[in-house]
Chains A and B, each alone.
Chain A
Amino acid sequence: GAGVSQSPSNKVTEKGKDVELRCDPISGHTALYWYRQSLGQGLEFLIYFQGNSAPDKSGLPSDRFSAERTGGSVSTLTIQRTQQEDSAVYLCASSLEGLNTEAFFGQGTRLTVV
């Protein structure tokens, strides 16, 4: 596709369940980012991939959060044992090379933990 694609667009899950959020970056983009947007917290950086490696995962809030990227393309953000405070919009972005090239954002996945 032409842009960054995220799925699902909405996810409602019960507290304690695991969830997987998917991001399909723009073809050819080597850099991929995950951010979280929640009320009162604004946009928080979670993790950055360059290719399949994650040189910066400093924003992951706890060990319940993990992410991987395969084939230098698709990325999956996994949240284990979800908590209500995990409710937020999870945004993925990709760029051609890194910070000096424009990052394009997906529409996000709205996660609601009930």
Chain B
Amino acid sequence: AQSVTQPDIHITVSEGASLELRCNYSYGATPYLFWYVQSPGQGLQLLLKYFSGDTLVQGIKGFEAEFKRSQSSFNLRKPSVHWSDAAEYFCAVGAKNQGGKLIFGQGTELSVKP
């Protein structure tokens, strides 16, 4: 069965520090991978996605993620975190033959210390 695991429920980083949020997936076919961000009181916003090609993908707000097939991972990174990055981050997996269905991880809540 398809599944997505985000091992870290809550992470706290200092402003200006680097960030890595982990995501592991279990999927039989070639996955489509996504990272979404949800700020308090806001809807989900797409940060970046991977379908094929270059395994390092760039997204909005200075985020990037790297697809590692051998590790079944799609970790999200940012070199320098800003206070406005505090939010909940969701990794999701889908597949072309699944229509539009996305399987989401449980989410990682990011807090940023001044």
Could you tell me which A residues sit within 8 Å of B by CB distance?
3-4, 31, 33, 35, 42-45, 48, 50, 55-56, 58-59, 91, 93, 95, 98-100, 102-108
Contacts and interface: CB of A to CB of B under 8 A. Distances in A.
A42 B101 contact: no
B95 A99 contact: yes
Q: What is the predominant secondary structure among interface residues of chain A facing chain B?
A: strand
B103 interface: yes
B38 to A, nearest CB: 9
Interface stretch (B14-22, B41-49, B72-80): B41-49
B32 A100 contact: yes
Interface string B73-91: 0000000000000000010
B104 A50 contact: no
B101 A43 contact: no
Interface residues on B, range: 20 to 34
A98 B100 contact: yes
A50 B106 CA distance: 26
B36 to A, nearest CB: 8
Contacts of A44: 104
Nearest to A33: B100
Contacts of A4: 43
B101 to A, nearest CB: 5
Contacts of B92: 43
B90 A43 contact: yes
Given A42-B106, A42-B107, A108 B43 contact: yes
Contacts of A35: 102, 104
